Every structure is written in structure tokens, then in C-alpha cells.
Chains A and B, each alone.
Chain A
């Protein structure tokens, strides 16, 4: 699972959960898979990204140096920044680990790079 995906996922499917975001991330195995950098794509994606959540995620899985703590104002022109953002969003992958709902503490396992967001029948409306 890429940190991009972590940035988009919520635990709103659980009953009585209001926001369910961000999910706390614990990683047992992390892998870096190089992928092609496209600056236009990354800068198009950045407005959708919650930078604080991304920064927190890099911290929690041992890639503390990957990105700066705040987003660059002129990121569209700052290729160095965009490359770092690309690396954090699309290259760092959690292979095994878990995500935790901030409101209920419910754990969502990540196995072989695929998060399991299914909840049990007694947890949904």
C-alpha cells in the first residue's frame, strides 16, 4: 500500500464513526519501489493530499527524512520538492502492517501490500 492510498482512506464504514481520518499507520515491512516521476501529475495530486497526514505517515514507518514537515508554497516550480513528494506518495509502500481507526481503535491489517478494510457485520449499520 502506497502512502498516497493511506492519505485517502477512512474508517467511515464503521457505525458511529464521524470522520475516521487519518488512520494511524504501523508498518512491519516497508519496501521502496521506484516509479517514474511525472512532475505535472504530482503537482496535480498535491491539492488532494493532506500533507500533515503524509508527513506523519513517513515518520511512523521509519522514513522520517523523506519529506519536509510543511508543504512548499511554490511546489509547482520546485522540482526537488516534487521529487520528494513523489517518492513519499508513490514509492514508499507498506507491505505488512496495520492501520488504526482514530475513533474506535479498530485495526485494519495490511498484508502483501493490500489493506483489508472489511469490517465485521456487527460493526456496520
Chain B
């Protein structure tokens, strides 16, 4: 059975397995970024990590692959089928596709998902393509034409079938931008902290924010600047602020194992320099994100941030618990006084951030943020809302059975009026106390009591106690 009739305008996108929740969000953002026809995305066909989309020519796929960090390669699909015979039957109807490449040097490759084939197992598969009218030389290093038979053996590593669920055959066109992910890996980065963002996710966030060259991007909880790195690599200019003086000045203790002190030249700027984008650095400022700082008519093209959740980094703002409105710091203490900080509740952090973004973004500008969520209490209606900001994407990354964080993308749709305030139901947030709270039903003692109830006292210790 030929499952898919193949025209020369079908393209196969092979996505990496991780962060599959974010695939559609990234593609939606890239379609918007490049102003591609959204109907193409809506008509996509997906199977496991493979997505088929029809484009008029390869310019669309080229654009997408020049930005994506979630798809690792893209092929022009020449044939497909469940059984190899079907695929060949399909291919023989499409031999005209080979015509432009007849004299090219070429290679054949067999790629698999969900099963590993040995070289010996792959060779006979390649031999079945001997009918292909290819007159060029075989070149395994730098072929002009790279043909791939891709076999999909399903997603379950414990139930690998003998034969693939689906097979695709096509011409390799482009790789995605996953090389950027290794380029900015945290292991070799000059300045990192305990909560530096994963490189892939930081690039993904910049893609979701539609960051383009010459944009100005702000991170109001900048930390070690891991989110600025991604935007700077996309040639945007970056600005950051953080309440933590020692962090911004890179004077905190090192986050690396077996290294107590930070090097004297660690800084956010040094990170950008390391990746050759120091030019994109505007400034970082020590400041309290809950207070006004920038002049009113200074607007940003994107605000990309990972606010502290109070789990690994504290949630703080300047303030005092003293009640007296006339409280003054004594003159003699002023020179050495360090501003006292009070707890900044998660709910306030997120409503302030949305209120702030609704004012400080250009129209069409995006706010991309992570929010810690209690999975048991989550409901989309509880997420922060502001009338000037449209929620355009919402994806979950699970952390534990009860906790997750969600990557939210808002787009500014209008200038806020006086009445545009943020609403947020704090019950869906994951607070520190909840995060470390032990679920009574899964606690060791509770499990034991349950098993005792069900099977009687069977453990050694239980027997001793009963005697």
C-alpha cells in the first residue's frame, strides 16, 4: 500500500526527541517570524519525531531551518511507505525527481529512530535502491547529493518492532541550529550561576520572542545573563537588570564544582565576548525589577526572562517590614548600609512583570517567561492575564510529579489603559513550601503502612517489632 502520494513539494522535518512539547510553539513563532503561510503548518502530518509539510519550494524550509533549535534536519521527501516495497513502488513513480542530480556525487545513508541497525544490516537496504538512475561518483565525505532512507521504529524502547512503522526516503537539504546549542554550552561558558538557563531553552525562548537583528531585548532578572546570550547571538542588543549586586558583579561564590572563587574577569559581558557578540552588549544594571527604572518612552522589542521561583534563587525586592512611615536610616549608617530586602511573593513578581511589560514593550513585542506551576492545581484560566497582552503560547516542562514550569509567551496587542491590570490566580503557582512538601500518600512511611495493611507484616523490621 502506498500510504502517501508524493509530490516534489513535501518536506520532512526530523525533530529531536527532547522538549517535544515546545515543537509546535517554536514552529508557530518561526512561521510568524518569516511570514510563511500558516495554513502549511496547520496541514502538517506528524508521526513521532517526523513532521511532513508541503511548501511551494525549499525557500520556506530553508528559512525555518536557519532558526530552529528543535528540528535537527530537513529533507525533500521523494518517497514513503510502511513496507520497503511500497516505498520503492512510490519512488519508481517519482524518478523524475532524480533527474537534476543524475551526475552529482552522492551518498546513501540509512537513519533509524527507535532501533539501532548495524552497518551489515544497513548495506542490503541500500542495495535495494540500485534501480536509481545515478551516474555520479560515490562520495561519503562531501557528496553533492545525500540520500537518506529513514526508518521509524516507534517511540517505545521496550517494544521495538521487527519492521519499521514508517519509512521515508529523500534528499537531505538542511540541518537546524543545534550546533549553536553546543557552541554556547554551559561547561565552557565563562560566567555561569546555579540557575543559568539551559542553552537550548534559551535559544528557544529567543525564537519564541521573535528576536530579530537590531532589536533591543531586556531581561529584568538577568542573573548571569544566560538568556541574553541567545538574543545576542541573534544580533539583538541586550540589556539586563538584577537586584543581586554580587551576582551582576560576578562576586558570588562559583557554581562550579571544586572551584571556590570566581575568576576576576567573569561577567555577563565576558560571556558575550566569548561568543564573539560583545557588540550586542548594551549594559547591565543593579536594580530592583519591582520599581520604575527606565524613562517612559524607552520601549523594548522583547522581554525575555526567568524570574526567581524562590526555590533555588530567593524572591526579593527592596523594602522593610518596619511599619513606621517616617523610618529613616541613621546618618552614620548610611555610607555602609546595604538595602534591606523583603520577600517578593511569586504572585506579585508575575503581576508586576506583566504590568511592566504591558507598558515597556513595543506593540507586537513579546514577553517570554517561565512560571513555576503546581500540577495538581493548574488550570489555564489561573495563568496571569493582562488585557494589553495576548497569551500566544503556553508549554509545560515537567520537573517532578507535582511541579512543573510553563513557558508562556505574551504579545502586546495594545497600549494599556488605566484599567489594564494583571489578574492571576496564585493557587496554581508552585511555592517553595509546596515544592518541598512531602506528599503524604507517597511518603515512605505511608507506603509501608499501606503495604502492611494489604499484605500483613512481612518486613524483617516489622516482625521484630511485633515480637
Contacts and interface: CB of A to CB of B under 8 A. Distances in A.
Interface string A56-82: 000000000000000000000000000
Contacts of B340: 120-121
B48 interface: no
A114 B248 contact: yes
Contacts of A112: 249
B285 A122 contact: no
Interface residues of A, number: 32
The residue in B283, B299, B327, B328 that gathers the most chain A C-beta atoms within 10 A of its C-beta is B283
B185 interface: no
A53 to B, nearest CB: 9
Contact of A5 (B269, B285, B291, B322): B285
Contacts of B214: 38, 40-41, 44
B461 interface: no
Contacts of B339: 118-121
Contacts of B293: 9-10, 12-13, 117
A74 B193 CA distance: 46
Contacts of A35: 278-279
The residue in B278, B282, B320 that gathers the most chain A C-beta atoms within 10 A of its C-beta is B282
Interface in B332-369: 334, 337, 339-340, 342
A21 interface: yes
Interface in A1-17: 1-2, 4-5, 8-10, 12-13
Contacts of B299: 48
In order of increasing CB-CB distance, the 3 nearest A-B pairs are A13-B291, A121-B320, A117-B287
Interface of A: 1-2, 4-5, 8-10, 12-13, 21, 35-36, 38, 40-41, 44, 48, 50, 90, 111-122, 124
Given A9-B294, A117-B285, A117-B293, 4 more contacts: A38-B214, A118-B339, A119-B339, A121-B322
